[in-house]
A and B are shown apart, each in its own frame.
Chain A
Amino acid sequence: MDVLGRYRNLIVLVGVLFAQLLGLAVQVKRTTDSESTRLIRVWAVGAVSPFEKALVWAQTSSGNLWHNYFYLRGVRAENRSLKAQIEHMRLEQVRMSQDADQARRLQSLLAFKEQFISQTMAAQVIGGSGSELSRSVYIDKGYKDGIKADLAVITADGIVGKVLRVYRTSALVLLIDDQTSGVGAILDKTRLQGILRGTPSGEVVLEKVMSDEAVPPGELVLTSGGDGIFPKGLLVGKVTKATPGSELFLNIRVRPAADLSKLEEVLVVTRIDERQAEPDQTGAARAVDILAQRLPGVPPKPENAEKGAAAPATAATGTGSPEPASSGPGKTPARTTVTGSDAKPKALPPQASNSGAPGSPPGTTATATGINAVTVSPKPVKATAAPKPQPAVEDSPH
């Protein structure tokens, strides 16, 4: 009895350590997240995340106040420059859409199925794990917002990681530089496939590429789609070094395209659609058509004069319902309005994806100004009639 009293502290220490070791062993043995530890995690995250959210909110608000109200120098000049850039990019888009349409035609011949990011949700990074051995961050969206485990998380620069655990108003995102993460990746030019993993020191390496292959530094690394989480073709990073490693495989170091140490806002890919590519039925818009919109047009002809040569113009909508294009005076005889819920951007450029709920997709042009709007959509758009968009022939406000 006296011995027990004398060594009481030591006995309690051994007991507490034994209990924790036992708990640890049980968790390691189980492959799935056990409910008992989930409760502890929920409490811990619930205790910490409100403070994190409050701090991030205060930081963002003060930043917005400064940038939106006080620091507006050079905005006009920047606006002009951006407008010019948009015009240039629209012409560039025409060229690219022709290339894309050609690719789609070939893909449809091969019955090739593509994956599209059809819905994303913007989220803010509110905190980290606080451990160098757990490279993960918390975002301010949880299952209340529709976030689920194993969703891909990306930024405009490249992929970030995947959702690992989901709580009510927050979620834990495992970054690609964590040693327990794994992403199916493919090299852009050589088309060699491998597995992207993190290292204990926080570097990212591409594994399982045979050492008899040549991988030049600077080559881009993209997602291969093989992991079932990231759609194919998203930018991962760039090869910085490739040296022969052990067991016949190359040791390829990759610098992630997204800056994982300075994450602020991310996009959670909440829906990926898979469908077969279809060739563009409407025909490609030409650069001259885009330019024609900007030129002053000819005044519209009187309505009765039109009736003789009335080519039934139809608005091509996403639902495919035809409607007369010329519905009153002052309207142009042929109006091609391309709208539709299926006109969504492809997966490759993340910045082109929708943020938040699916709204009006990029690539569709509104016709509220009363001018002919020829839309150049990056996706195939079905049209019921008037396969070729007509150039603008009326006054343009430009």
Chain B
Amino acid sequence: MAITYTSGEQVEVYRFSIPATILIPLTAVFLQAWLPLRFPFFSIFDLPLLVTIGFATARRSPLAGLFTGGLIGILQDALTHQPIGLYGISKTVVGFGASSLGIKLDVENAGARFLLTIVFYVVHEVVYFMIARSLVGLRMAWSWPHELLSGVANAALGVLVFMLLDRLKQRT
């Protein structure tokens, strides 16, 4: 449960194979587009965000994290009718933050991952809200209970997603 401080030498850095790097984000975006049609409650989850956090914390490279987050976000944006960049910017920030934190903290245990996901979910929503409202001019209402509840739901799913990603990552 505890988030332990570790030195840069102590944390392990992982990488993913090229097929996994391409197919996992694609699958996440596809499921995010398809599942809410069949199961409307699924719209509370953000699978591409969980994959972004999972990749970023495993690789522990801020540059890889921000580019992975940015690309996943742009892919997600491209399926909506909103301007491209809303999810792109939000996930760029999350990818950078998660990988930067991954260098400093040991985020291998489930409790740490749970808390990390809640925090980055809220960060993602705040960035998205600000850009959508101020730059794009969308009408949006902020609700803390809704965001926190969604954060907890995403964190619970995130723990499972990270366990799946653990099986696919390779030690460098």
Q: What residues make up the interface of A, taking CB atoms closer than 8 Å to B?
A: 9, 12-13, 16-17, 20-21, 23-25, 27-28, 37, 40-41, 43-45, 47-48, 51-52, 55, 125-134, 136-138, 164-165, 172, 174, 178-180, 199-201, 261-263
**Complex interface: chain A residues within 8 A of B80 (CB):** 129-131, 133-134, 136
Number of A-B contacts (CB under 8 A): 135
**Complex interface: chain B residues within 8 A of A200 (CB):** 138-141
CB atoms of A127 and B82 under 8 A apart:
no
Is B36 close to A, CB under 8 A? yes
Contact of B138 (CB < 8 Å), options: A9, A13, A45, A179: A179
A103 to chain B, nearest CB (A): 39
Bound CA span A164–B100, Å: 40
Looking across the interface, which residue of chain A has its beta carbon closest to that of B83?
A27
Looking across the interface, which residue of chain B has its beta carbon closest to that of A33?
B81
Please classify the interface of chain B as helix (H, G, I), strand (E, B), loop, or mixed, using the class held by over half of its residues. helix
A-B pairs with beta carbons under 8 Å apart, 29 shown: A16-B66, A16-B67, A20-B88, A21-B89, A24-B85, A27-B83, A28-B136, A37-B84, A44-B79, A45-B78, A47-B75, A48-B29, A52-B30, A52-B33, A55-B34, A126-B34, A127-B33, A127-B37, A128-B33, A130-B29, A130-B33, A131-B87, A133-B138, A134-B80, A138-B33, A180-B81, A200-B139, A262-B37, A262-B40
Bound CA span A179–B81, Å: 11
CB atoms of B139 and A17 under 8 A apart:
no
**Complex interface: chain B residues within 8 A of A47 (CB):** 26, 75
Bound CA span A165–B96, Å: 33
Q: What residues make up the interface of B, taking CB atoms closer than 8 Å to A?
A: 26, 29-30, 32-34, 36-37, 40, 43, 48, 62-63, 66-67, 70, 74-76, 78-89, 92-93, 96, 100, 131-132, 135-141
A30 to chain B, nearest CB (A): 9
**Complex interface: chain B residues within 8 A of A17 (CB):** 89, 92-93
Looking across the interface, which residue of chain A has its beta carbon closest to that of B141?
A200
CB atoms of A23 and B81 under 8 A apart:
no
Apart from A27-B85, A126-B34, A130-B29: 7 A-B pairs, beta carbons within 8 A? A17-B93, A24-B85, A41-B84, A48-B29, A128-B34, A129-B81, A131-B79
A9-B62, A16-B92, A41-B78 known; A132+B43 contact, CB < 8 A? yes
CB atoms of B76 and A20 under 8 A apart:
no
A195 to chain B, nearest CB (A): 15
**Complex interface: chain B residues within 8 A of A127 (CB):** 30, 33-34, 37, 79
CB atoms of A134 and B88 under 8 A apart:
no
B16 to chain A, nearest CB (A): 18
Bound CA span A27–B82, Å: 9
Contact of A44 (CB < 8 Å), options: B75, B83, B131: B75
**Complex interface: chain A residues within 8 A of B83 (CB):** 24, 27-28, 37
A191 to chain B, nearest CB (A): 29
Bound CA span A44–B80, Å: 10
CB atoms of A48 and B37 under 8 A apart:
no
Bound CA span A201–B141, Å: 8
**Complex interface: chain A residues within 8 A of B34 (CB):** 51-52, 55, 126-128
B155 to chain A, nearest CB (A): 18
Bound CA span A43–B136, Å: 23
